[in-house]
A and B are shown apart, each in its own frame.
Chain A
Amino acid sequence: MKTKLQNIACIIDDDKMFTYLVSKQIRLQNLCDTIISFGDGEEALRYLRPIIETPDTLPSVILLDINMPVLDGWQFLDEFTKFAITSKVKVYIVSSSIDRADQMKAASYKDVSNFYAKPITNEQLVEMLKDFNH
């Protein structure tokens, strides 16, 4: 059904406004095919867990907030990194935190590609999503 060319970006953030605005920006510039978004880590895990076996439907990029209700960014990562995923999923932390401790912690996860402090610029957004836009 779906081809491998389907590029999916995933936004996990409890700030609905941020999610809306980033999605709109991504769509305007046609940076990916599909955007999925979740309000907290648990919602995201509930969606992702059943589709691990089908890499085609997994997002290629995840923009992850840290401070969220129910399951925060770190807790999401701790669960997500246990998944045996064959395809490469890039995880970027996008947070309002400028606490050095958070940046250090992000660096300690090998699955985290980079840490961006909000507000993010359009250039940063392009950088995150460029991998499937060549």
Chain B
Amino acid sequence: MQTQLELYQRVTPLVGLGIFEHNFQTGEVYWNPIVKSILEVGNEYDSNLEDSINLCKHPEQIRELLSKAMASGEPETGTFQITTPITRKHKWVRIHLQATCDKGECASIYGALEDVTQRAEVIALLKEREKLFTNAFDFAPIGLALVSLTGGWIKVNLSLCKMLGYTEQEFLKHTFQDFTHPDDLNKDLQLLQELLDGKVESYNMEKRYYHADGYIIWAMLSVSLIRDELGQPMYFVSQIKDVTERKKHMETIQSQNDRLLNFAHIVSHNLRSHTGNMKMLTDMILLEHDEEEKERLLLMLNENTSNILETLEYLNEVVKVHDNVGVGKVSLHLKPAVQRVLDILSASIQNEEAEITLAIPDDCCIQFHPAYLESVIMNLISNALKYKHPDRQANISITAERFDRQILFKVKDNGLGIDLSLHGHKLFGMYKTFHRHPDARGMGLFLVKNQVEAMGGSISAESTPNCGTTFIVRFELYENKAAEHSLHH
């Protein structure tokens, strides 16, 4: 067996344990060889307490530890950054020390010293990484979230809070299922299960969330799964990008494309009809020997040419409407606008002996192009007059009321009515007429629809054959964005 001292002398180098003692009464200082090797000084190096303290980058920290140890007489521990006295190297050391007392005076301090530079560097690196990650997470421009295996929000970043309109605390009380549009939930859960089953590494989907205010947010979602060392699922990492604007733009583009295609068909259809007739007419004129019949065919050719011109003028009108989308909007009072149209139509109203009732609040105000508004009102009222029922007096009621964020403008008649199950899909189409009226050209409602839509409104109709028709124009009350979202609650 070794003596205890021998054992102690052999083990201390094994664990790199430096041992020191400062005796205040004798002024003696003892450093074992490990202390000297940590401080990278030679065996003959001599030091005093003050110099030792000053090796610390922040000497006040070690002074604090010393006075604490002297006051308490208990073991104290601290980690300090030092600079080796000769080689000037930066190191981290951990010091355990205790003070002894003699008649109320501090007699000595002794303790142990170990080099923890490597450990400290690793910890510092981890701290920095964590800070980087936290920053990246908290301030990422897209929504980021950690989500539990059952869907509960564990951690959400600022962007996501802003995107869906909830605070972090509100988020943590809910699951992602709570905020998901019901039509998108099943697909999301299905993909989540595939991720849990290890069938996929991650998944992406386009889905809808509900904003705290009830409207829909379109988002691009990417989800991956974090597993522990044993491969057991721990939580999901979700990246959520708001694509509502893009979605809206795509819808706008889609509807514009549809309208353009529709317009191209209209143009092509009309030009074909007329030119087809022209071709037949000219062929016949060339072959015709009878002068009288030739004359008749020439008159028809002339009429046909006028029709083409009229059509072109009309198409031009429609193009102009779409050229002016959103421009020329001014605040207009609805009631005087309707009264002006009634004045213009007063002769026809008298002629048809129609009874008009007008119920529009004085303060009813909309954003619209003045000429379009007149055209819309004019078309709807003259339609009601034109298609009156032959067996009864025409009653036309013109009303406006506020509904939610819109103004509903209605023109209701007791006229012939239209069978909407037969004609509803083409009511606002071009060259669609539903009655054999000599003035029916099938242009009015098409133009009205275009004008209303160019101003951001919409138009619909309700009708019962032989009872009457109601046209409903929805005018947007506000210009702000929130009004465009559909309400959920």
Which residues of A are interface residues toward B (Cβ below 8 A)? 15, 17-18, 20-22, 24-25, 39-40, 67, 69-72, 75, 96-99, 117-120
Contacts and interface: CB of A to CB of B under 8 A. Distances in A.
Contacts of A75: 422
Contact of A21 (B277, B432, B433): B277
B124 interface: no
A21 B285 CA distance: 11
A18 B436 contact: no
A67 B431 contact: yes
A17 B303 contact: yes
Contacts of A120: 276
A98 B434 contact: no
B435 A118 contact: no
B275 interface: yes
Contacts of A25: 280, 284
B315 to A, nearest CB: 15
Interface string B285-326: 000000000000000100110000000000000000000000
A96 B273 contact: yes
B276 A119 contact: yes
A98 B268 contact: yes
A70 B279 contact: no
Nearest to B270: A96
B421 to A, nearest CB: 11
Interface majority SS (helix, strand, loop, mixed), chain B: helix
Contacts of A21: 277, 280-281, 284
B345 to A, nearest CB: 24
Contacts of B442: 69
20 contacts: A17-B304, A18-B276, A21-B284, A22-B280, A24-B284, A39-B436, A67-B431, A67-B432, A69-B434, A69-B436, A69-B442, A70-B435, A70-B436, A96-B269, A96-B272, A96-B276, A99-B265, A119-B272, A119-B275, A120-B276
Interface string B402-441: 0000000000000000000010001000011111100010
A121 to B, nearest CB: 9
Interface in B232-261: none
Interface residues of B, number: 26
Given A24-B284, A25-B284, A70-B436, A17 B277 contact: yes
Which among B268, B270, B277, B284 has the highest number of chain A CB atoms within 10 Å?
B277
A71 B465 CA distance: 14
A124 to B, nearest CB: 12
B422 A15 contact: no
Enumerate the 10 nearest inter-chain pairs by beta-carbon distance, A residue then B residue, closest first. Answer: A119-B276, A69-B433, A118-B276, A96-B272, A96-B273, A21-B280, A96-B269, A17-B277, A119-B279, A118-B272
Contact of A71 (B272, B281, B422, B431): B422
Nearest to B429: A67
B415 to A, nearest CB: 15
A76 to B, nearest CB: 11
A125 to B, nearest CB: 10
A75 B419 CA distance: 12
B272 A18 contact: no
B433 A118 contact: no
A20 B284 CA distance: 12
A91 to B, nearest CB: 20
A32 to B, nearest CB: 18
A39 B433 CA distance: 12
Nearest to A20: B300
Contacts of B280: 18, 21-22, 25, 119
Nearest to A22: B280
A118 B275 CA distance: 9
B352 to A, nearest CB: 22
Contacts of A117: 272
Nearest to A39: B436
Nearest to B437: A69
A82 to B, nearest CB: 15
Contacts of A40: 436
B422 A18 contact: no
A92 B275 CA distance: 21
